[in-house]
Amino acid sequence: MSPLAKRLAARRRIGTGDYIAVGDDTTTATPASSNSSSPSLSDALGSDTVKTAAGIALVYHGYKRTGSLLWALFYGAAGKYIPLVAVPVAVAQGFGKTKKCTVE
């Protein structure tokens, strides 16, 4: 076996496209970096897909809550740009429930 073939056989491809050595006579194993594993929760919540879904859900909530298209768009913008604040507020308000009138 040629030296190049030995070096290639001593490496193993991991999910991120990086290579790590898998110990044999000529190489030593190196640990994969911990930041190249799965994305964190904050990465997932900050993704464009989650922000768009929050925006769409909050447009629905804003319209059902107020009956106004303008407020629905305001809620949707809040869901798109600050979902970590807007979504819990919408849940606390009772998602999709109409606003209770307090005028006597």
3-state secondary structure (DSSP) of residue 67: coil
Q: 47 and 81: one domain?
A: yes
Q: What is the DSSP letter of 97?
A: P
Query: How many domains does the chain fold into?
Result: 2
Residue 102 belongs to a domain: no
Beta strands in 1-104 (DSSP E): 11-13, 19-21
Task: Convert the pLDDT of each residue in 38-50 to its tens digit.
Answer: 778 777 777 888 8
**What is d(CA 17, CA 74) in angstroms, rounded to the nearest whole number?**
42
CB-based contact 61:97 (threshold 8 Å):
no
20: three-class secondary structure by DSSP: strand
User: Do 14 and 50 sit in the same domain of this protein?
Assistant: no
Residue 51 is assigned to a structural domain of this protein: yes
pLDDT for 53-80, tens place per residue? 999 999 999 999 999 999 999 999 999 9
